[in-house]
Amino acid sequence: MKNSKEFIKKAARIALAAAVFLAVPAGALYPKHRGRGAELVVQKKDGTFIKGELLFVRERTLILLDEMSGTDVTVGIDDVDAFKVVRSPRFSARFSWAALLVGVPASVYGLTARNGAFWTRMGIGIGGGTIALLGMASLIKGTDEVAVLKGGSEQRTSFALNKLVGMAFFRGSLPADFDAVRKSLTPRAPSAGKESVFRDLTVSRPTRLHLSFEPFYSLSERTGPYVGLFRAMGFGDTRPGGGWWIFTREPTAYPRMDRISPFSLRGARIEYSLTRSLAVGFAYASLGSGSTDGFRLIPVPGMPWSWWTPADYSPLYISEDHKSDGFFLSAAWMPPPDTFFNSLALKFGVELGACISRLDFATSEGSYEAVIASRSLRKTVPAAGVFGELSYYFGRNASLGFRAGYRYARTRIGAFNLDGTFLDLDDRGSLIHSPLTIAFPAHRLDLGGPALGVTLGLHF
């Protein structure tokens, strides 16, 4: 355990050092130009390209500050097959990717780890999440958008023109001092004497690889049948209250169920698009976890009074704890949106896989924490699910969505016995630990259920 902690610490230092190394060589963190018109790459119907800053949109005409010549160029929208809006990230691209790739694992580890100081874990979780959000926001801001007008409708062209009006340096009408302001402008990246190489923008190149982080909130109360089962086994007594002076304890009714928070960060997915609309992938998620405690008062005539049980009775506890993880192969219908014209996308899918459950049972005398005997079971059973998702694409490479789904798995537990002991009195009135065999009947554990969540997606 000590070696593993040291390894984690060293890995964290290496990851942070890599983030700094990736960030520093990339140059300034902020883009050089602010308050300028959008940078466009325009593909004309004759196959030529123009790259420059959008100065003004007049009726069906674009006026650009050409990057190559530094002069104004006028392009009619009817002569345009496609155009690309070139964007710059708020921070350097290397820093943005490093922040995202380091921040997400750090946040998940800090918010889900159970070992270590609470404030240390929260610091890692919240700090990592903040760094990841900064990287994500920077990448979103720096995502290029492509608009294909070739073969499109007049409504599509009008929409593009209206959107470009808000991206121009001069919006609304030209100012009276247009000539003076225009003379002060220079191209963003003069490249005199160099030919820029452009790709055909009308060729559709949808993203193929999709990575998703999927935290969710379970709407199901499925933590197993153990409340009813423990009661049927005779472990549904009430532990009396009591104590001395100011140290008192309220009566506690059993069986007592402790369901681990229905909010889970344990959800992730990787998918690959076979076609523009069909993707296959692999998903992981928690299918539920919980624990239940049972309590029985065993009659023992002559037993002395104690602060946790009345006289003439001896206590006995039983407990269970289970955790289940689902691993799924998935198939989904998920056509990517044309983000310049529409940023919303629907997705529907099915899942088929396996659920791996770990169940731990224990008995104890004085409390459910002081274990006398225990038994662990591992079960692997089939699991299936369906899901739907509505996502907003901030650009070609990043999306945030709302998802709803249903996953289900059923685990059958065979009958078994678990040894326990309780405090008893021998013939001379001395305290002894008497054995007691507890018979657990065969039962069924239903896992999964409906859930709502969000999806943070990266698309490449």
Q: Is residue 374 situated within a structural domain?
A: yes
Same domain, residue pair 136 and 255: no
Same domain, residue pair 291 and 370: yes
Q: Is residue 168 situated within a structural domain?
A: no
Same domain, residue pair 335 and 239: yes
pLDDT per position as a tens digit, 209-247: 999 999 999 988 665 679 999 999 999 999 887 666 666
Q: If the chain, 460 residues long, is cut into consecutive pieces of 10 residues, what is the mean pLDDT of each piece?
A: 50 49 40 64 92 90 88 92 84 76 80 75 82 78 83 91 89 73 68 62 85 91 78 93 70 84 88 95 92 92 79 91 94 91 94 96 82 94 98 87 96 94 88 93 92 92
Q: Is residue 333 situated within a structural domain?
A: yes
Last residue of a domain, one of 151, 184, 204: 204
Per DSSP, 236 falls in state B
What pLDDT was estimated at residue 157? 92
Q: Is residue 117 situated within a structural domain?
A: yes
Same domain, residue pair 269 and 331: yes
Q: Is residue 184 situated within a structural domain?
A: yes
Same domain, residue pair 71 and 219: no
Same domain, residue pair 280 and 327: yes
Same domain, residue pair 37 and 113: no
What pLDDT was estimated at residue 247? 67
Q: Is residue 150 situated within a structural domain?
A: no
Same domain, residue pair 70 and 92: no
At 40, which helix (H) or strand (E)? strand 39-44
Same domain, residue pair 111 and 227: no
The pair of structure tokens assigned to 392 is: 């907003």
Same domain, residue pair 21 and 43: no
Question: Which residues form the domain of 52?
Answer: 31-85+173-204
Q: What is the pTM of this model?
A: 0.76
What pLDDT was estimated at residue 402? 97
What pLDDT was estimated at residue 335? 92
Q: Is residue 163 situated within a structural domain?
A: no
Same domain, residue pair 374 and 322: yes
Number of domains the chain is built from: 3
Same domain, residue pair 131 and 241: no
Last residue of a domain, one of 143, 158, 184: 143
Q: Is residue 428 situated within a structural domain?
A: yes
